[in-house]
Structure 1
Amino acid sequence: MEVVLPGGVDDPATPSGGNVYDRRLCERLDVRETAIPGSWPRPDARARGELAAALAGFPDGAVVLLDGLVACGVPEIVVPEAARLRLAVLVHLALADETGLEPALAAELDAKEREVLRAASAVIATGTAAARRLESHHGLREVHVVAPGVDPAPFARGTDGVSRLLCVASVTPRKGHDLLIEALASLADLPWHCVCVGPLRDTAHTQRVRELIARHGLGDRVELVGPLTGEPLGDAYAEADLFVLSSRAETYGMVVTEALARGIPVLASAVPDALGDGGVLVRPGALTSELRRWLTDSAHRDDLRAKAKRRRAELSTWDESAREMAEVLASLRA
């Protein structure tokens, strides 16, 4: 079976939930990978040519799993191949859901994505809510769900059980670091320290986040440490008392289950499937009152720790995710 991925899936400088998902499943499936570098979903001519050549090189009837970031922005390349290949498209995030897009560009990407997904033999999402939204929004008959797994992890030791906050997310508008900083600024009277792990691209949004930290005088309380992987990332989780995620939109939110796998209480937005009953789900931008409650109410903290522990026992493994993906792909061979 063939898998087509965006280039950089293994680049430690740009870790993402989508990249981790792709890598964990490819490690467990009998696949041949083709990684195509490019500025997906709006590639240049070189990347477009590489994708067209890769698809043209697959034999008639081949089952091909395409990462949606590569597939969904180029229907003129993908759709003609759908007549002879059995294409499955994995949607990590609907293209138009990326925060900060100009309305005209969002509409253009949305239309291109619809064309690709309607032509595919199968569409796969990483969460139930995302799957149902794709079905209704694009008029699809069925979107399969293959949720991410988690790697086994020991319980986090934390610090004082209260004040160490951890956010793991790329500093982009969709991840809502600006919302988190504004919420924390209103809690400056309370003891807390927040570590933000994730890629820091040289963008206007990253600069805005830095300016917000400086404006509120939080330079010694909010750390933007950049991307971490492996043991350093594990250490960051191990020291956390509370995991916070202020995303404006998510399809799943793997970092949430990675926190829950360590028994860390979670306060997050836009991640109903990942969180389950394992923490507090809030509207984007509505963090302040729940953060204050965490920092001041010991009984509430005990309740969230118990919820995280119960959710930890429910989480599936990557082996289970791989089996579910294999079943979806095997159905295309029938």
Structure 2
Amino acid sequence: MNVEELYKFWSEDPYFDEATRAELLAIKDDKKEIEERFYRDLEFGTAGLRGVLGAGTNRMNMYVVSKATYGLGKFIVSEGEDAMKRGVVISYDSRHFSPEFAEITARTLTSMGIRVFLSDELRPVPMLSYSVRWHKAFAGVMITASHNPSKYNGYKVYGEDGGQVPPEAASKILSFIEGIEDIRTIHPDTLEDAKAKGLLTYWGEEVDEAYTDMLDKLVIDRQAILNQKDMSIVYTPLHGSGNKPVRRILKKIGLENVHIVPEQELPDGDFPTVEVPNPENPAALSMAIELAKKVDADLVIGTDPDSDRIGIAVRTTVDGKETYVPFTGNQVGLMLLDYILDSKKSAGTLPEGSFAVTTIVSSKLAGAICKYYG
């Protein structure tokens, strides 16, 4: 179908709900907007889907999510009964419609006979990745648009190792999505049917505890933390999903003087206090830094909506004036790399043949640090 035919189909066919049809009828005289919404399908790749919320094939909505999920489901079915039984773990962040997209993902998969583990509340990407491995699932889905503006949402697919699907798997999923000739052939279960089939399970507190215990075991120098247990720290989740898990691990390892930015503590898909919820953008940490000045904090930490990106600022003195200096992602990564390698080498626990993995967009200083430690 061309743009006009797709618009007519989506705005008139009873397969689409009343809200979708009403939204599209409201733009019936806006040819440019109609073109933008229907000139293509939202692109699926190794990063999944990401787009502006709204009705149309080039927008993020429950029908586009269900179609992508049906393609993922077809891929899982093609991998055999064991893959279907191992199933898919689903989580979501604080963005608009994230819970609804997570639910339609679950209901679409169970309608295909695939087992689903659905988070009972918003949880971040690192926990989704861990939960895939904890459940020994075949795949995972995270509903998120990371640190993009509030008008966006997205859909990321993860493999059984907890990492984003590689290009080969993404290509297969895409081919199954493109093979769907009529979206009306997709009929997600109701929640009641999904539960009655025994294919829908909710996950939560047990994984929270396991994940926190796992993180606690990664501590290299517990005494160093205990020495600084009273250090004043400010944390902001920037209205996202990091609030509970970040505070939980900080408390677990013994950091007791943690202050939360109250205006940014609770989930809010509008992200009303920031222009863009990216903690690596110094402007996003401005409220946290103001609180840090009031509570005499040495360290400011921020995480993005799906809590897989961190920004920090530290108190220091510049030209005789006390200030807070933000660090870039590269700087944080390099300091962590140096600390981990130095600590392990000093303790004699750095294994032979150790290596560090970096990316083409990361600092080349990582290579120099690794060379230094052999």
TM-score range, shorter chain: 0.3 to 0.5
Bigger relative CO (Cα 8 Å, ≥ 6 apart): 1
Normalised by the length of structure 1, the TM-score is: 0.32
Normalised by the length of structure 2, the TM-score is: 0.30
Whichever of the two has the greater Rg, that structure is: 2
